Amino acid sequence: MQLAVAKAQFEIIHPFFDGNARIGRMLIPLFLFAKELLSSPIFYLSAYLERNREVYYQGLQAVSQDSDWNGWIVSFLFAVLKQAKANYQKTRKILELYDRMKQIVPTFIRSQYTIQAIDWPVFQTTDFIRRSGIPKDSARRILEVLGKNGIIRELRSGKGRRASILMFPELISITEELD
């Protein structure tokens, strides 16, 4: 409830010429983290608020014009609940994908570095080689095998000194799903 009140007050005061809504949305995870309701300050409510922008603004306007704090608090807490459920579902899908990849990838790659190879959602080949701790030749072979088996896909081809950018398309698909 405190968060709903703080968010509305910040939005209504409108202290900046631009960026009030973005800053207000950034306050949400910081507040939840400070109250030890999150283990780290990551809670993305913007997706819900953007999809329900009209209701969101009507709620703020009702507070400003009619002092309808109860309506705003109920609406805001509903938004937090809906987004938390969506975030939980997305997290479950990501963990299920990770577990599935831990089973699938070793069938393509017989290496002690198998698990390190699936810990990179979007990456430059040079970063993967440098940061994964996998020897350069092994890292390149792993990337090649993952690509041939459709586990990773190239976003941008390397050219000259510019590294390729690769991604796990199934992971990206999960993260981009609408809540």
Is residue 16 located within the same domain as residue 84? Answer: yes
The DSSP result for 50-104, as a single string, is: HHTHHHHHHHHHHHHHH--HHHHHHHHHHHHHHHHHHHHHHHHHHHHHHHHHHHH
Q: Are residues 134 and 76 in the same domain?
A: no
CB atoms within 10 A of CB 11: 21
The answer to whether residue 100 is domain-embedded is no
CATH number, domain containing residue 132: 1.10.10.10
Residues 11 and 59 in one domain: yes
Tens of pLDDT, residue by residue, the chain (179 residues) = 899 999 888 888 876 677 777 888 888 999 999 999 999 888 888 889 989 999 999 999 999 999 999 999 999 999 999 999 998 999 999 999 999 999 999 998 888 888 887 887 889 999 998 888 899 999 999 999 999 999 999 999 989 889 999 999 999 999 888 76
Out of 29, 58, 89, a domain closes at 89
Which range marks the domain in which residue 130 is found? 109-176
Helices marked H in 109-135:
114-117, 125-131
Residues 17 and 85 both lie in one domain:
yes
pLDDT at 15: 63
Q: What is the structure's pLDDT at 179? A: 63
Number of domains present in the structure of the chain = 2
User: Residue 30 falls within a domain, yes or no?
Assistant: yes
Predicted local confidence at residue 145, as pLDDT: 94
